[in-house]
Structure 1
Amino acid sequence: MPAGRPTPLGSPSAERAKDPEHEPEHDPEHTADPEPAKTAEHAEHAAVPGPAAPPEHTAPRRTLVADLSASVTVFLIALPLSLGIALATGAPLQAGLLSAAVGGIVVGLISGAPLQVSGPAAGLTVVTADLIQQYGWRATCAITAFAGLAQLALGSLRVARSALAVSPAIVHGMLAGIGATIALAQLHIVLGGSPQSSPVDNTLALPGQFAGLDLAAVSVSAVVIVVLLGWPWLRGRGTGPLRYLPGALAAIVLATGFASLTGLHLPRVDLPSWSSHALAGMPDGPVLGLVAAVLTITVVASVESLLSAVAVDKLVVARGDRHPVARADLDRELRAQGAGNFVAGLLGGLPITGVAVRSSANVAAGAVSRGSAVLHGVWVVLASLLLVGMLELIPLAALGALVMVVGIQMVKISHVRSVRRHREVLVYAATVAGVVALGVLEGVAVGIAVAVAMSLHRLSRTRVTLERRGGGAAPGADPGADPGAAEDAYDVRVRGQLTFLAVPRLSRVLAQVPPGAAVEVELTGSFMDHAAYETLQEWRQAHVAHGGAAELVSATGRRIAEPATAHHCHPWTPWRNHCCVTTPERPAPAHRLLSGISNFQRNTAPRVREELARLAREGQRPTQLFLTCADSRVVTSMITSSGPGDLFTVRNVGNLVPLPDGPGSGTVSVSDADGGTATAGTRQDAAGAALPDDSVAAAIEFAVEVLRVESITVCGHSGCGAMQALLDEEAAHGDVAGTAAGVPPTPLRRWLRHGLPSLARARAGGPPIVSRPYADDAERVSLANVAQQLDHLRRHPCVRRRLADGSLSLHGMYFHVGEAQAYVLGEQGDFTAVRPGPAGLPERAAADVR
């Protein structure tokens, strides 16, 4: 049974053998942050739960204080990173500050992810540097603006979630390739030189760079690297402001102080007057090249921003914030990123994306609204106007070392382990190599091509084997026949998906089967296309025509025939659906039961054996007594998502609870929490008179006094035959007890006497359903019956004692079979529908009904 299922009316789940926990992923630029979800399905799990917001008179002040504090933290991280990324791209340094401000103010105001912080990011460094080298700075700004318009269009078309469908191996490979390219380029600056035009040239130039390294630049860079690597350790042991100082800022401050104190002569930050800042200009070049450039920035910026937005949602959930924060609207976020890139491009800034480092720091610092991102942009504007003198003290080598470390951190060991675990190392490696050698867009295309090729290879990777069962009985042969007289039997096993690509291999194996032999072809895959089906059927017909016997069977051992209609198979479907396709012959009921048991032994027993062994050792400790009808459509484990050891179940006709001192008889089935079942039949004395019925009372006493269950639930259901019988007998004879003239007092009629109070209660006005009227009189009686049997439970001495000391609670439940909808009886005396989701039970219906 799946982990994480809802528990029945507050009981703990029995699923103790959980699936292995997935290793936490990481953000593109920070090894300590969770990685964004890669699919829309993962994104759906990023909802942010939380209690109600603070009182109105304190909420604005608390929000302002929290956002103000977080904005300062993000600003201290964004300032050096923005300068470093501008340096790495070859753009004017003011462009990094301008994009940081636009990302904070423009994108922050309209963002679909309230706590995401946008700005220049390392993921676009390589792309931007190539564009500047090819088209010049002003043309690159125009390309950025056009990319923003493309993002606005994509966001308006509501295709944002499709970007999350990219294979994680390709995304990881793209980021790793970009990181390697950044690190190679910045290594030259760290060594005191200048980067070359391509990663290959940077690699080839390294020996000469090492031969002529600049000791002053190396020493300043070493300070930055040592501080960045050791800062998490220092901050964890520090106190006061040290604990809140970002590592990037600390590294730049210490490196700048070291360079100033030692009097090192190094190139430093140069921020010309804003009056000379270059704005965007129309690009000049081949149209196809410009379109490719716009497409590259659009794709990389969009994917990185959307993945970061999903990661922020996950971080907010993990933070357990008591402030309600809306989950990310990815289409709105894409439009916000487009607006930011359009404005940044027009004003002469770098391309903008949602930045994982700043966003994770924003969440960790306690931000509760988009105000923190906007304020961080305001601080960047003020710093670029008022702190120019201080910024110009920063050595360029220090910024180069900072960006180099960021690039190295984009190549994550956890990503390599993840793709290796999923056997996608080849896709990852091809994407990395493509990005480094050819460029970002080309590298992603290479990764996609390799991923498609691997998928086709896996789809066609079908294993077909032939085994001989010497002297075995032919499929369908007479079980009483002499086994020694049977022909040799063969097993053909097909492992994997059976498509046209596997037809040649399948045909070769089938051709090895001797004519006239008995053959069983076992298909274990979940898919068989038309070409493979025709091949199997044609071979089967020819083999049978030559005197052989052939059967197609599924992994469960059931025979397969041509499907009449397509349908899905699930463990909770009836026996007739346990195999997707069955032969027209209708098996005997006993054979169906045996087949179902065989299916359990094959598929389910290996998964639950460990848990059942634990229960066998420790004994059962159910927390719930679940009393319901014997109707075959009410599957208690399914509607309560319970497993072995969760429920102690009592089932009888009509989910009736005889009064402890009342007579009665009937057939009652009682199953314990380990699945055992006992049946008590009609009890009569020697003269044939009915004796008091103790079977239900015994089960209640055992559950309450011995097992010490914490709650008892009485569950009725729609279409209950017992309730309908009460109505029919009343209408036909005016009597249900079987005492009317000419009405034989059968066991069923005697048992139904326990339902007479329920019938009377329904006539007087039973409990209603909040969301709709009664479907019919039978439903009215079924609902009243649940409430009435709870009253009967309170009459039992053991229940009464436990209710008095507060150690037991009673619950009423009604299951509508046709709707597959459960309703619970609330403290107001009405039934409320249980809704899907983590909470499930409405607050007004969750209280016990003692």
Structure 2
Amino acid sequence: MSACAPPHIQHPHPPHSPAPARRRFPVAGADVSAAVAVFLIALPLSLGIALATGAPLQAGLVAAAVGGIVAGRLGGCPLQVSGPAAGLTVVTADLIHRYGWRATCGITVLAGLAQLGLGCLRVARGALAVSPAVVHGMLAGIGITIAVAQLHIVLGGSPDSSVLANLRDLPAQLADLHPAAVAMSALTLALLLAWPRLPGRAGRLLRRVPAALVAVTGAAATAGLADLALPRVELPSWHSHALAGLPEGPALGVVAAVLTTTLVCSVQSLLGAVAVDKLVAARPGPQSRLGRSDLDRELLGQGAANIVSGALGGLPIAGVAVRSTANVKSGALSRNSTMLHGVLVVVAALLMVPILEEIPLASLAALVMAVGIQMVSLHHIRTVTRHREVPVYAATTLGVVLLGVLQGVLLGVAVAVALALRRLARTRITHEEKKGVHHVRVRGQLTFLAVPRLSRALHLVPQGACAVVELDGSFMDHAAYESLQDWRSVHTARGGTAELAGRRGGIRTAERAPATGCRCRPWTPWRNHQSCFTAAPATPAGQEAGHELARGISSFQRNTAPLVREELARLAREGQRPSQLFLTCADSRLVTSMITASGPGDLFVVRNVGNLVPPPDEEHGDDSVAAAIEYAVEVLGVRSITVCGHSGCGAMQALLAGGTGQRVTPLRRWLRHGLPSLARMSDGARGGARLAGRDPADAAELLCLTNVVQQLEHLRAHPPVARALGRGQLELHGMYFHVGEAQAYLLARTEGGTVFEDVAEGVGGGAGGDVGEGAGGSVDGGEAAHGRVPTASPGQV
């Protein structure tokens, strides 16, 4: 059977073979539970977003249903949930104010057609070229606009169409409060904040119910019991529901409106699909087999959904980050969960109208206001600050607030381009002499524009002197490369020395450098660096080892120290605040910072032979490990402890061989702490640790895996750990590193026993848009492009 054959001509089974048994239920149970979780999140937020735009409230339900069914069926990201998004609120509200509701629906249809055209042109990946600072700034501007507008409804009034007008009218609104509306809004916000923080085991069970649903339901019940006179949700009969109409007005204005809607819907949906891919890849199990999203197909699916939603009188549709995250975390396995959530919205819109009409508008406004506030993400602000893109973020945010979404995005893109050109053209070159060594530092991109200044700085180096040229940039063009190499050749010919230092491995040049014998690579042993050092006479082995250490330190001071000095200075001022205690073997092949991609201040590391944790209060026990555990948990306040074993562990091999001999030595006394691991491996009921997809290669690997599990039990017995676990402030993780494969595995408890599963790649960013209730019951901010998403949870013990 051809893999490229369309579904309607593929044979379900080969001739003369029995037909496969039909599944009794076409939708998996995991998809059903995920659909219910997403539906409970989408229902109140869809009404709230419709209220914030000024559209008929049922338009939010139409968009949620169409987004789930149409985009879910046709889109290229199976687990992304689409619907009315907070990121579209400002755009839609402006369209309604200018053209009216029916014309806005028509503009939504035209935007959907534009998305279909873009999808056919296969330009979806181009949307990912938008600077993250622009996306973050757009979301922040939209969030500020939403929050300021909804504050008026929370106080019992009605908002204006512009942010400046709402701010100007706010003092008068504060002087004319509506006590009942304020009370319901306060109750909603209190439930939103308190529900995710319910303590204890009962709290963990209750937190499965979305906080947004609890907040709106609690406010509606309180208003009903107290018989408060408040404006409530009004859902007119579906017979009088308004459908799309043709927009009227200047052609240029209509085109701009269509382009704005298309831009925001497309960028948000595509970045959301990328975020879902990263989230799925970080979760081991059946979800990780779904593969990457087809972004062009996703754009086609979003276009079709906007056409249907606009034609039926619904809001514009885009991928929604928080609902998609809830869908993934709830264990959805296919697009059936997204489609079923849309069906549930249809059922609610038809059968739950009397219940929905009991919801106070002030409660929905408070919910959407919380959404807007959380779209101004402190994490995003720290990210753009670290990357020196605050001007782009600020320009986009202010542009969206004061001018509009499209104008703000264009302004942000213009500032981003100007900033990139300035960085490309601006290169700082300095020269100074320290202890007879002349340092020429180049900060920025080394292009032909900087060649005159580079030449002047290099000519300040006297003939025969020792010179170091430090390159702190990522690009060197042909003109700069030739100028630098010519000077280097002349300088060395006249008896001087010249060394290129700094971010040497990261410099890209317009011409390939001549081949050398150097085999330097990041994280390689000293022996691979020998060809980079000046040849020296043969020395005894002990002295040569000392020379290797000295040369390594010297290389660090020249190449690495300038790059980390600022960060280490900050840590020196603020002190260490590691989040992890990492307990591993003393084996020289385990480089903890390499296998965890961590930096200074991240890990509090304890290393010993065999990564052993002596049980507490044992006679002749070891206080060194216990002291480190106590200090990490009770003084540093680490939130996680990882015990990491590895392949080829000499300590485990010694245990299998019966120890290290008959003579009692410190090593033999220490290895007695590994005897429980040996006994556990021999016990069939307790042993059985294995790697995902295969059994241990031999007894030594089985003992290495079992030892991690056993040492975690020893760790739980330490009083500081037991107390922190009881308070829910600490997690324990098991890890195994296969040295030969350079592959890390994390411990997971499954029905099949103790399994160490592959660590998935691609943990990272999210996509901006709607903000609301996450699967765990907390009100969470939408993650914009290239931001962070929750990582896969390692196997907890």
Which residue pairs with 1:93 in the alignment? 57
Which residue pairs with 1:163 in the alignment? 127
TM score, norm. by length of structure 2? 0.61
2-side partners of 1:254 and 1:67: how far apart? 28
Shift in CA distance, 542/108, structure 1 to aligned 2, threshold 3 Å: closer
Q: Do residues 462 (structure 1) and 427 (structure 2) align?
A: yes
Counterpart residue type for residue 349 of structure 2: S
Which residue pairs with 1:441 in the alignment? 406
Displacement of 1:257 in angstroms is: 1.9
Displacement of 1:577 in angstroms is: 12
Q: Residue 222 of structure 2 is aligned with which of 249, 258, 270?
A: 258
Write out per-residue CA displacement over residues 377-405 of structure 1, whole angstroms, 9 at most, x where no aligned residue: 11211222222222222221121111111
Which residue pairs with 1:389 in the alignment? 354
Which residue pairs with 2:574 in the alignment? none
Displacement of 1:598 in angstroms is: 8.8
Contact 2:464/2:492 (8 A) holds in 1 = no
Q: Do residues 413 (structure 1) and 378 (structure 2) align?
A: yes
3-state DSSP class of the match of 1:555?
strand
Displacement of 1:132 in angstroms is: 1.4
Shift in CA distance, 283/504, structure 1 to aligned 2, threshold 3 Å: farther
Which residue pairs with 1:175 in the alignment? 139
Counterpart residue type for residue 237 of structure 2: S
Displacement of 1:241 in angstroms is: 7.6
2-side partners of 1:579 and 1:440: how far apart? 57
Counterpart residue type for residue 247 of structure 2: P
Which residue pairs with 2:336 in the alignment? 371
Which residue pairs with 1:500 in the alignment? 448
Q: Do residues 555 (structure 1) and 509 (structure 2) align?
A: no
Shift in CA distance, 522/168, structure 1 to aligned 2, threshold 3 Å: same
Q: Do residues 132 (structure 1) and 79 (structure 2) align?
A: no
Write out per-residue CA displacement over residues 350-387 of structure 1, whole angstroms, 9 at most, x where no aligned residue: 11111122222223333332222222211211222222
Shift in CA distance, 600/251, structure 1 to aligned 2, threshold 3 Å: same
Which residue pairs with 2:480 in the alignment? 532
Counterpart residue type for residue 331 of structure 2: G
Shift in CA distance, 123/620, structure 1 to aligned 2, threshold 3 Å: closer
1-side partners of 2:609 and 2:347: how far apart? 62
Which residue pairs with 2:753 in the alignment? none
Q: Do residues 509 (structure 1) and 509 (structure 2) align?
A: no
Displacement of 1:190 in angstroms is: 0.7
Shift in CA distance, 431/702, structure 1 to aligned 2, threshold 3 Å: farther
1-side partners of 2:124 and 2:391: how far apart? 27
2-side partners of 1:490 and 1:106: how far apart? 67
3-state DSSP class of the match of 2:107?
helix
- Segments of structure 1 that go 5 or more residues without pairing to the other structure are 1-55, 473-488, 609-617, 625-636, 638-643, 648-672, 675-700, 711-798, 810-820, 823-836, 841-850
Shift in CA distance, 576/806, structure 1 to aligned 2, threshold 3 Å: closer
Shift in CA distance, 520/89, structure 1 to aligned 2, threshold 3 Å: same
TM score, norm. by length of structure 1? 0.57
Write out per-residue CA displacement over residues 306-332 of structure 1, whole angstroms, 9 at most, x where no aligned residue: 332333344445554456651342322
Matches within 5 A, 1:813-832: none
Shift in CA distance, 285/566, structure 1 to aligned 2, threshold 3 Å: farther
Q: Residue 244 of structure 2 is aligned with which of 280, 284, 295?
A: 280
3-state DSSP class of the match of 1:143?
helix
Which residue pairs with 1:522 in the alignment? 469
Matches within 5 A, 1:466-505: 466-468=431-433, 490-505=438-453
**Which deviates the most, 599-608 or 305-314?**
599-608
3-state DSSP class of the match of 2:475?
coil
2-side partners of 1:703 and 1:168: how far apart? 57
Q: Residue 65 of structure 1 is aligned with which of 8, 22, 29?
A: 29
2-side partners of 1:555 and 1:128: how far apart? 54
Which residue pairs with 2:179 in the alignment? 215
3-state DSSP class of the match of 1:492?
strand
Matches within 5 A, 1:698-777: none
Which residue pairs with 1:204 in the alignment? 168
1-side partners of 2:397 and 2:311: how far apart? 32
Which residue pairs with 1:359 in the alignment? 324
Q: Percent identity?
A: 59
Shift in CA distance, 236/372, structure 1 to aligned 2, threshold 3 Å: farther
Contact 1:622/1:646 (8 A) holds in 2 = no
Displacement of 1:133 in angstroms is: 1.3
Q: Residue 389 of structure 2 is aligned with which of 403, 424, 427?
A: 424
3-state DSSP class of the match of 1:213?
coil
Q: Quick check: which has more Rg, 1 or 2?
A: 1
- Greater length-normalized contact order (CA 8 Å, ≥ 6 residues apart): 2
Shift in CA distance, 456/329, structure 1 to aligned 2, threshold 3 Å: same
Write out per-residue CA displacement over residues 230-282 of structure 1, whole angstroms, 9 at most, x where no aligned residue: 11123866469844322112211221222222222222222222222222222
Shift in CA distance, 574/291, structure 1 to aligned 2, threshold 3 Å: farther
Write out per-residue CA displacement over residues 593-647 of structure 1, whole angstroms, 9 at most, x where no aligned residue: 9999997555579989xxxxxxxxx9965899xxxxxxxxxxxx9xxxxxx9999
Which residue pairs with 1:5 in the alignment? none
Shift in CA distance, 347/210, structure 1 to aligned 2, threshold 3 Å: same
2-side partners of 1:521 and 1:162: how far apart? 41
Contact 2:44/2:364 (8 A) holds in 1 = yes
Write out per-residue CA displacement over residues 497-536 of structure 1, whole angstroms, 9 at most, x where no aligned residue: 322343454355356567x675746242453224434655
Displacement of 1:126 in angstroms is: 0.5
Shift in CA distance, 316/61, structure 1 to aligned 2, threshold 3 Å: farther
Shift in CA distance, 93/576, structure 1 to aligned 2, threshold 3 Å: same
Contact 1:106/1:340 (8 A) holds in 2 = yes
Which residue pairs with 1:612 in the alignment? none
1-side partners of 2:290 and 2:460: how far apart? 63
Shift in CA distance, 71/495, structure 1 to aligned 2, threshold 3 Å: closer
3-state DSSP class of the match of 2:44?
helix
1-side partners of 2:134 and 2:281: how far apart? 26
2-side partners of 1:266 and 1:449: how far apart? 46
Q: Residue 364 of structure 2 is aligned with which of 399, 403, 410?
A: 399
2-side partners of 1:67 and 1:702: how far apart? 52
Which residue pairs with 2:213 in the alignment? 249
Matches within 5 A, 1:112-131: 112-131=76-95
Contact 1:114/1:328 (8 A) holds in 2 = no
Which residue pairs with 1:147 in the alignment? 111
Counterpart residue type for residue 388 of structure 1: V
3-state DSSP class of the match of 2:267?
helix
